[in-house]
Amino acid sequence: MHALSISEENYLKAIFHLYTGEEGIGTNAIAHHLHTKAASVTEMVKKLAEKKLLTYEKYQGVIPTRKGFTTALAIIRKHRLWEYFLVEKLKLSWDEVHDIAEQLEHIKSDKLIEKLDRFLDFPKLDPHGDPIPDKAGKMCVTKCCCMSEIKPNSNAKITGVKNHSPAFLKHLEKMHLTIGKTIKIVERNDFDQSVQLVLNHETMHISKEIAENLLVHKIKR
């Protein structure tokens, strides 16, 4: 019945992001994601299990319940709406907003989020290309794949990023590899897995690391 604490919300979000649908998530994985220790996770996970947000059995890892899912989605919704606000209205850059949204996502007020959503005109994607869940937790499926998996000689549009670190985002910005841009993959180097591509009629090379963290959507033409 009580509202969740900020810590509880952060654990839930981590568990949601780590859950692949296969097996239970280990305490170590959660600890690593939250920069905390496995012992702390065990403790917290017991509390969340009592609140029916996840199922937990000793040594078996953790699986979020339906309630856990919808709760996590509500937090992610808030995070992404705030990110959209920060970039589109306040004109912060996409590499500055994550830490701020990490704080804003814990503000408690259903009405605030409804009003914010309306003010922003119900955006569907956040500044990093991630889908924003609606009030019911539904979000659009953005079928896209890693740029490192695209076959040479095909065209694609940049739709998102897998890594949200400021360093990575700033680098993309500098290279003009931003969301919405259309590129042509020319070839992949067998030696270092780097990728040669054409952007704005100019040829460029990007490292394996960058290609693995860029999400694209294949297009014809």
In the complex, which residues of this chain contact DNA (CB under 7 A)? 5-8, 10-11, 26-29, 34-45, 47, 56, 58-61
Show the tokens assigned to 117.
């959503």
Is residue 159 within a helix (H) or strand (E), and if so which, with residue range?
Answer: strand 154-161
Distance of CA 164 to the CA centre of its chain: 7
Compute the least distance from the CB of residue 108 to its own copies, in Å.
7
Compute the least distance from the CB of residue 72 to DNA, in Å.
16
Token pair 């694609």 in the structure block, residue: 156
Choosing among DNA, its own copies, none, which partner's interface includes residue 140 (Cβ < 5 to 8 Å by kind)? none
Q: Which of 104, 132, 147, 172 binds its own copies (CB under 8 A)?
A: 104
- In one-letter notation, the amino acid at residue 84 is Y
* CA–CA separation, 3 and 108 (whole Å): 9
- Residue 107 touching its own copies (CB under 8 A): yes
Q: Which of 8, 96, 134, 209 binds its own copies (CB under 8 A)?
A: 96
Number of helical (H) and strand (E) elements in the chain, helices listed first: 8, 8
* CA–CA separation, 78 and 25 (whole Å): 24
Nearest to 65 by CA among 6, 4, 16, 32: 16
Q: Which of 57, 119, 192, 205 binds its own copies (CB under 8 A)?
A: 119
Choosing among DNA, its own copies, none, which partner's interface includes residue 103 (Cβ < 5 to 8 Å by kind)? its own copies
Show the tokens assigned to 27.
């305490």
* Angle 204-209-190 from CA coordinates, rounded to 5°: 70
- Residue 112 touching its own copies (CB under 8 A): yes
Compute the least distance from the CB of residue 111 to DNA, in Å.
24
Task: Compare residues 89 and 135 and give the one whose CB is closer to its own copies.
Answer: 89
- Residue 174 touching its own copies (CB under 8 A): no
Binding-site ranges for its own copies (CB under 8 A): 86, 89-92, 96, 99-100, 103-104, 107-109, 111-112, 115-116, 119
